[in-house]
Amino acid sequence: MLQKRKIINDPVFGFINIPNDFIYAIIQHPYLQRLNRIRQLGVAAFVYPGAQHTRFHHSIGAMYLMNEALSNLKMKGLHISEEESDGALAAILLHDVGHGPFSHVLEQTLVQDVRHEKISLLMMQKLNALWNGKLTTAIEIFKDTYPKRFLHQLVSGQLDVDRLDYLRRDSFFTGVVEGNIGSARIIKMLDVKNDKLVVESKGIYSLENFLLARRLMYWQVYLHKTAVGAEKMLINTLKRAKELSHDGHRLFASPALEYFLRNDISIDNFEESNEAFDSFISLDDNDIWVSLKAWCTYPDVVLSALSRGLVDRNLFKIEISPEPPDEAKKELLLEEYCRKYGISAHEASYFIASEMLVTDMYNENDDSIDILYKDGSVKDIAVASDMFNIELLSKKIEKYYFAYLRD
C-alpha cells in the first residue's frame, strides 16, 4: 500500500486513487511524465481548440478504468492475484509510452517502419531491467504471452480500456458529444468465459452505442478533413526538413530532433544504439513547434512556406472524394507552384498530398465482442444485436483525401 495516499483529480472520471507505491513509481518515471508534453490528438486542436489533453491524461484514465474492470471481475468470483493486477495496471499505464510527438506523424517521417508499440515494448523492457524484473508480468500481458489472455484483451482488444477511455476523454475535450459512451456500465457488464472477455446480455445497448460512437468520432474528430490536412502538411514539412538536413543544411532544431533529421532511423537503431533511444525519449511536441517557428524565416521557400502555414493556421486545403484525385489537376497545381515560387517540380511536390483512408469499426477476424446470456451461451455481437448486422459492422469505409497548399 501507499505510505501516503495519492489521488489525481481527473476532469473526466473525478478523483482517481493510485493503488500502491509500484504504480506510483511508474507514474513518476520520466518515461511516463514525458507524455505530459505530447498531445493526445496531435493537430486536432486546429479544429477543436479544447483538444489540449495529453497522452499522460489518457494513460491515467485508462489505468483508472483498468482498476475498475479488475475490481468488477474479482467481485464476480474471478481470481486475479495482486501481481496480475499490478501487471495489468502497469501494462495499460505504459501502453502508449512509445508515442513520439504528433504520434503517427513521426512514424511516417522521423523514423522508418517503427510503430509506437515496438518502442513502448522496448521502453518497458529497459525499465524492467532497471527494476529487477518487476515489469515481467506487465510485459507478458502486453505481448499477449501471459496465460490469462483476458488480461491482454483489457489492454488491447475490441473492447479494451484504452478505447473506453480515449473515446470518452476525446469527446469531453473536443465537445463532440456523440463520443460520450457509457464506459462505467460496459465495465460493470464485463465477465470472463473460457479465458475470454464477454459482456452480459443486458449490456448490449451500451455496446451498440460504443460502436456507433467510435465510428462517429473517427469521421468527426480523428479523420476530420481539416485535421487530416494539417497532419499531411506537418508530414511534408518534416520530410522537407529531413531532406535539407541530409543535403548538408544546418537547420535550427533541438539536439534530439536534429539527430532524427540527420539520420535514417529504424527499429535496429533503437535496439542497438543508446543514442537513438535517448534522443527519442527527449522528443516531445515542444521540439517540433519551436523548430517550426524558427523555420518560418528559413531561406528555403518550401520549408518556410509550410512552417508558416502551420504556425499561422493557413493549412492545406483538402478535398474528399470516393474516387482518386484527378492527375491533371495535380499537374496543373504543380506547374502553378513552380511558376509562383520559382522552384522545381520535386520541390513543388511538397505542397501536395493525397492518400486513401480506410476505417472499419469492427473486424470479425480480430477478437470478437461476445455477449453472454443467462443460460451460459455466447454470441458474437454481430449476431446478437438486433440493430447491427455483420455487413454493417465490418464494412470498410474508403475515402480519398487530396490536400494542397492554398494560393
Are both 245 and 215 inside the same structural domain? no
Are both 263 and 299 inside the same structural domain? yes
Are both 202 and 254 inside the same structural domain? no
Question: 403 lies in a domain?
Answer: no
Please name which of 214, 188, 224, 206 lies closest in space to residue 76, comparing C-alpha atoms. Answer: 188
CATH assignment of the domain containing 241: 1.20.1250.30
Are both 158 and 305 inside the same structural domain? no
pLDDT score recorded for residue 388: 64
Are both 209 and 61 inside the same structural domain? yes
Question: 307 lies in a domain?
Answer: yes
Are both 166 and 187 inside the same structural domain? yes
Say how far apart CA 134 and CA 87 lie, in whole Å. Answer: 9
Are both 209 and 65 inside the same structural domain? yes
Would you say 260 and 283 are in contact if contact means Cβ atoms under 8 Å apart?
Answer: yes
Total domains in the fold of the chain: 2
pLDDT score recorded for residue 368: 82
Are both 183 and 315 inside the same structural domain? no
Question: 322 lies in a domain?
Answer: yes
User: Do strands 7-10 and 378-380 pair parallel, antiparallel, or not at all (unpaired)?
Assistant: unpaired
Amino acid at 252: F
Q: Cell numbers 461476445 label which residue?
A: 370
- pLDDT tens series, the chain, 407 aa: 455 678 999 999 999 999 999 999 999 999 999 999 999 999 999 999 999 999 999 999 999 999 999 999 999 999 999 999 999 999 999 999 999 999 778 777 888 878 889 999 999 999 999 999 999 999 999 999 999 999 999 999 989 999 999 999 999 999 999 888 899 999 999 999 999 999 999 999 999 899 889 888 988 999 999 999 999 999 999 999 999 999 999 999 999 999 999 999 988 898 888 899 999 999 999 999 999 999 999 999 999 999 999 999 999 999 998 888 889 999 999 999 999 999 999 999 999 999 888 776 666 556 789 999 999 999 988 888 876 665 566 667 788 999 999 87
Long-range contacts of 255-260 (CB under 8 A, 24+ apart): 255/279, 255/282, 256/280, 256/282, 256/283, 256/287, 257/110, 257/283, 257/287, 257/288, 257/291, 260/110, 260/111
CA dihedral sign, ordered 156, 185, 26, 2: negative
- Dihedral angle, C-alpha 161, 393, 201, 165, nearest 10 °: 20
Question: 82 lies in a domain?
Answer: yes
Which structural domain range is residue 251 located in?
A: 225-358
